[in-house]
Structure 1
Amino acid sequence: MRPLTVLLSSTGLVACLAAGGSCERPAAVQVPLPPGTRVGWYVTIDGSSNGNGTNARPWDLQTALGGGNGQVHPGDTIWLRAGTYAGAFHSELTGTAAAAIVVRQYPGERAVLDGRGATSSTSRGDMVIVNGSYAVFRDFEIMDSDPSRTLDTRPNLMVAHGSHLKFINLIVHDGGIGFYTYPEQTDIEIYGCLIYNNGWQQPDFGNGHGIYAKSSAGPVYLRDNIVFNQFGYGIHIYANAGSGGVNNIHVEGNVSFNNGAVDADPANSPNANILYGGGDPASGGSIVDNMTFFSPNVGVQNVTIGYSSTANVDLTAQSNYAVGGQTVFDLGFWQSLTMTGNSAFGSASSPVNLRDATTSGFQLNGNSYYRDPTAQAWLYNGGSYTFSGWQQATGVGATDQAQAAMPTQPRVFVRPNQYEAGRANVIIYNWSGQATVPVNLSGTTLAPSDAFEVRNVQDLFGGSVLSGVYDGSPVNFPMTAVTAVQPIGGAPSAPPRTGPAFNVFVVLRR
């Protein structure tokens, strides 16, 4: 067994900083790591550019991301061993369509990339820049342990500057912006990532988003991510006029909640859980099967479809489930907007604000609104209407339905992970306020006799809230409120406790 000098896991450092301390980096300690048994190249925090990528002579991270002195080829895997990798990095890895290069955390270990102090102190820099193409980055953690939360110099953590890239099951937190995609790139997928506590507090409002995506041609896919408690927007599909476009971006199966909740004034935070649209017209995109939630007294607009007065081209929004905010669905200006099968909830919310006076291109069908239909809560072109009055004034939503009563039974969404067997996201809206909610995990690829654990994403490293051996029966998920992990360095407002009304979990096979 070869002793390696590794930095302690970031867990203790995060806890110290969240408490408002001015903590130093943890001291290096000798932790014996057993030799890796997986086929591929090896990286450790005390690796070297003079290594050869083996167990005995591992590389440092930058050498591996640069191609390992010419030794890394399409189809290869690079394993990140345990420890904290301090610095900023750039990847030049280039695989092929048939044989991508994979960079991933070694199983059972925790590899953390920490960008504290590694980028510009005068402007927001990029911490991990991914150039190259046909590369996959998965399973590890990216963060910035700098405790300052009032400066816009916190870095963009993971930046897609190449094409044909996948980012899978990463944990991305406490940066300036979690993910950023440059507009010229094509075929980008961000999948199954946990993204939280990114951003900073400006004098007027919180800024810094979970995902900031733009695209000239696309496609860009944002799928099955869990995005919560940013200072700014959760999912921010946006480009300034002339800066790259909002084209062919697809937002599918994500859960985005309480973004803007750590703002100094969360009740009036302008940051939506999902924004689709910018200064450039949006076209060719979709928002499908997403789930959102705002706690009481958090959020103005929950889902914003169309930014400001930009005249957009077309978009499909289907089967989204959105709870809370002053306005649930805020609709801008579109030549063609198709909204079908969406659900909006909020006993004091405006279910829909249709800002465009011209509605000939709006196709609203089969949507459900949980709000008193006699309330003047439906908005159109600056006016307030009852539900039937809104239908008459706009000429849309003939097959939409509204009711005053909220659901009386829990609504459970199970999203099996497409890249990790036995893993799934579980999202529970606990309308009945039950202490536990039964969840059918039969579609998650868990097999009878598989050991599993369940973690509440708001305190991911706080231990499992449930574990056992799967026998095919429904599993009772605890809906107890947990205290969400605080942003490193603190925030003007503490993240709300969402349980028992709402919780999000990750199921993992063990």
Structure 2
Amino acid sequence: MKQFLIHIVCLCMYIVSYGQEEFHVFPKDHNETPGTQNGTGTINNPWDLQTALSQKPDIVNSGDTIWLHQGIYNGRFISTLQSLKSNTFITVSGFKKEKIILNGNVNSSNKNVLEVKGKQVIFKNFEITCLGYFSRNAKDEDFEVITGLEHSSGEDCQFINLKIHNNPGLGVGSWKQTGGSLFDGCVISNNGYIARDGRGISEGMYTQNISSKTRIIQNCIIFNNYYKGVEVWSANKKAKYEYVKNYEIKNNVIFNNGNPAQQFKDNLIIASGDLNGINIAKNVKVESNFFYHNSDIKNGQIGGDAASLTIGFNKNAPVENVTITGNVIIGRNNALRILHAKSLTFENNRIYSGYVTLNASVLEHINHWNFKNNIYFTKKSASFRVAGDKDYNLERWQSNFGIDQSSIWQHIKEFDMPSVVNVTKYQHRDLTYKVVLFQKDGLDVLVDFSKPALKEGLSYRIYDVENSNVILQTGTLSEDRKITFPMQLSAFEKPLHNTTAQKTPSNFGVFVIEFNAQRSTPVSDEKDNIFKRFFKWLGF
């Protein structure tokens, strides 16, 4: 019997080791173990990054992990990795908590810091950026457009805990042939440049989807990009098929996009520019997000152009089956724009805006809308402004169109909400939480960490995402599990990357808090003990 079990165990161990291999990558200029093209991918003879990303499926395949070790990887890289086994991924990840930076500020004909062409690959735990000096102005002779992450082809990829920032071009381009992809826990900021005419160019994320598979964007922080935050969009005016569809956008914080160019732009737009009425933005769910543009809410500041959420763009392509639920939408005069929408659900949202902007075309479709349980904070009671028609107060809006029956209106000076907007644990980072706070008077906020069941005595570090290279506060979790977060940040060093971009005022902040986990016995030792006991039973 034991002999039989020995054969089974050996076979299982062989299958596991054969089916899931680990490979290692180091920068080319590493002092001890530089990565090379001729490496074997072992810890002592590692690959360079481009060599690792070019491996064929007979070397790196389903279930394998490529570990990136600490350092700066100078270059512009293309990944053609692909997993051939359904629902099983190749993983390209930073090793443990080491700091890995892909730096695209190099001489190259490639226009992307990282281009992804493969399928079923997970990329996580590293930065994509341009370091050092580079021009942000298209008028400069040395100016060059560089995209951070170009996801050009390949379905079912995942992008987890990536920091994509300070690229003189698009932060993320994830295009129509890349359906089923997931963006989770990414920070996308300060991407873009100034065009020759002075406008801000390049979004945090520009995305399309031709697939029936749903694309998910969740738990991300997207801010201070030179143009819009997220565009679920196509500018093609003569489309012949649909490719802006099937999205879930949930629990993200998207704020102050357009700020570096001194023109606030849409934090999120869902639309299409198609004149043929074929490529219609449809089947999009927007749930529990926080959209924000700088506003002195305590004093009722509302003037100026600062759209936070826009639905629809072209009359010939009104959006269909778009659901907006549980969001906070804060901006200036036109924070919420519903321009062209055929079928729209809008429920349980809280809006701070000068007014709600609508185009006359919505009157053709408004009987297909489902609005309820919203709270509108605007500067005038006649807050629903239909271009080409008239302004409606909530009562007339309800009676004329039969929608929003359970919604309420209040003046902007009455705007308020719970100070702790959201505390979300990062799924793929140990004991790390995203904390979104709003306190219109700019007072410090007490956050309760008892619900995550964290243990007393854990040490912690707090970072402001707008200045994430500096530890804002440290401490130890007390018996009551409550931590005070500072909202008055004006005394801190200005964190933004250019002199015109303004930091958020003290009424709003996004923070990351990391707790230090303590284990008496490493996980690997526990696993080893199981095997040791088993082999002891076998007589070894």
Q: TM-score, normalised by structure 1?
A: 0.84
1:28-49 C-alpha deviation (Å, 9 max, x unpaired): xxxxxxxxxxx82111112101
Contact residue 321 and residue 343 of structure 1 kept, 8 A: yes
Root mean square deviation, CA, Å: 2.4
Q: Which moved more, 1:213-222 or 1:306-315?
A: 306-315
> Unpaired runs of 5+ in structure 1?
1-38
Is the counterpart of residue 428 in structure 1 residue 415 in structure 2? Answer: no
Contact residue 245 and residue 281 of structure 2 kept, 8 A: yes
Structure 2 equivalent of residue 318 of structure 1: 325
Counterparts in 2 of 1:305 and 1:69: CA distance versus 1, 3 Å: closer
Q: Secondary structure of 2:397's partner?
A: helix
Is the counterpart of residue 44 in structure 1 residue 26 in structure 2? Answer: yes
Amino acid at match of 2:136: R
Alignment of 1:199-210 (within 5 A): 199-202=192-195, 203-210=197-204
Distance (Å, rounded) in 2 between the aligned partners of 1:339 and 1:110: 41
Contact residue 410 and residue 432 of structure 1 kept, 8 A: no
User: How far is the alpha carbon of 1:119 from its aligned partner?
Assistant: 4.7
Contact residue 94 and residue 126 of structure 2 kept, 8 A: yes
Structure 2 equivalent of residue 231 of structure 1: 226
Is the counterpart of residue 110 in structure 1 residue 99 in structure 2? Answer: yes
Counterparts in 2 of 1:182 and 1:118: CA distance versus 1, 3 Å: farther
Structure 2 equivalent of residue 277 of structure 1: 271
Residue in structure 2 matching 1:148, options 108, 130, 135: 135
Percent identity between matched residues is: 24
Q: Secondary structure of 2:313's partner?
A: coil
Counterparts in 2 of 1:66 and 1:287: CA distance versus 1, 3 Å: same
Contact residue 458 and residue 483 of structure 1 kept, 8 A: no
Aligned residues: 458
Contact residue 446 and residue 470 of structure 1 kept, 8 A: no
Q: Which has the higher helix share?
A: 2
Q: Secondary structure of 2:308's partner?
A: strand
1:452-490 C-alpha deviation (Å, 9 max, x unpaired): 222110000112433424646121111122555333xx3
Distance (Å, rounded) in 1 between the aligned partners of 2:451 and 2:87: 29
Distance (Å, rounded) in 1 between the aligned partners of 2:478 and 2:78: 41
Amino acid at match of 2:49: L
Counterparts in 2 of 1:244 and 1:119: CA distance versus 1, 3 Å: farther
Distance (Å, rounded) in 1 between the aligned partners of 2:394 and 2:343: 22
Q: Secondary structure of 1:262's partner?
A: helix
Contact residue 345 and residue 351 of structure 1 kept, 8 A: no
Structure 2 equivalent of residue 158 of structure 1: 149
User: How far is the alpha carbon of 1:409 from its aligned partner?
Assistant: 5.2
Distance (Å, rounded) in 2 between the aligned partners of 1:503 and 1:135: 33
Amino acid at match of 1:76: D
Is the counterpart of residue 450 in structure 1 residue 458 in structure 2? Answer: yes
> Unpaired runs of 5+ in structure 2?
1-20, 29-34, 274-278, 296-302, 517-540
Structure 1 equivalent of residue 3 of structure 2: none
Structure 1 equivalent of residue 45 of structure 2: 57
Counterparts in 2 of 1:376 and 1:426: CA distance versus 1, 3 Å: same
Alignment of 1:108-507 (within 5 A): 108-120=97-109, 125-145=111-131, 147-151=134-138, 153-160=144-151, 161-175=153-167, 176-202=169-195, 203-217=197-211, 218-241=213-236, 242=239, 245-263=243-261, 265-266=262-263, 269=264, 271-279=265-273, 280-296=279-295, 299-309=305-315, 310-346=317-353, 349-353=354-358, 355=360, 356-358=362-364, 359-372=366-379, 374-382=380-388, 383-404=390-411, 405-407=414-416, 410-434=419-443, 436-444=444-452, 446-469=454-477, 471=479, 473-481=481-489, 482-483=492-493, 485-487=495-497, 490=498, 493-494=500-501, 496-507=502-513
User: How far is the alpha carbon of 1:81 from its aligned partner?
Assistant: 1.3
Structure 2 equivalent of residue 20 of structure 1: none
1:96-142 C-alpha deviation (Å, 9 max, x unpaired): 34431111112232111011245549xxx333111221111111000
Distance (Å, rounded) in 1 between the aligned partners of 2:469 and 2:398: 48
Contact residue 192 and residue 223 of structure 1 kept, 8 A: yes
Structure 2 equivalent of residue 99 of structure 1: 88
Contact residue 53 and residue 68 of structure 1 kept, 8 A: no
Q: Which moved more, 1:201-210 or 1:222-231?
A: 201-210
Distance (Å, rounded) in 1 between the aligned partners of 2:199 and 2:257: 12
User: How far is the alpha carbon of 1:158 from its aligned partner?
Assistant: 1.1
Contact residue 51 and residue 57 of structure 1 kept, 8 A: yes
Distance (Å, rounded) in 1 between the aligned partners of 2:304 and 2:91: 39
Distance (Å, rounded) in 1 between the aligned partners of 2:403 and 2:113: 46
Counterparts in 2 of 1:119 and 1:312: CA distance versus 1, 3 Å: farther
User: How far is the alpha carbon of 1:423 from its aligned partner?
Assistant: 1.6
Counterparts in 2 of 1:76 and 1:118: CA distance versus 1, 3 Å: farther
Amino acid at match of 1:173: H
Q: Secondary structure of 1:390's partner?
A: helix
Counterparts in 2 of 1:471 and 1:167: CA distance versus 1, 3 Å: farther
User: How far is the alpha carbon of 1:249 from its aligned partner?
Assistant: 1.5
User: How far is the alpha carbon of 1:443 from its aligned partner?
Assistant: 4.6
Larger Rg: 2
Counterparts in 2 of 1:395 and 1:179: CA distance versus 1, 3 Å: same
User: How far is the alpha carbon of 1:153 from its aligned partner?
Assistant: 4.0
Distance (Å, rounded) in 2 between the aligned partners of 1:353 and 1:446: 46
User: How far is the alpha carbon of 1:216 from its aligned partner?
Assistant: 1.0
Distance (Å, rounded) in 1 between the aligned partners of 2:481 and 2:453: 14
User: How far is the alpha carbon of 1:431 from its aligned partner?
Assistant: 2.4
Is the counterpart of residue 89 in structure 1 residue 77 in structure 2? Answer: yes
Counterparts in 2 of 1:443 and 1:294: CA distance versus 1, 3 Å: same
Counterparts in 2 of 1:301 and 1:499: CA distance versus 1, 3 Å: closer
Q: Secondary structure of 1:455's partner?
A: strand
User: Higher relative contact order by CA 8 Å / sep ≥ 6: 1 or 2?
Assistant: 1
Q: Which moved more, 1:186-195 or 1:143-152?
A: 143-152
Distance (Å, rounded) in 1 between the aligned partners of 2:260 and 2:127: 22
Amino acid at match of 2:188: I
Counterparts in 2 of 1:334 and 1:378: CA distance versus 1, 3 Å: closer
Q: Secondary structure of 1:507's partner?
A: strand
Runs of 4 or more, structure 1, over 6 Å off, are: none
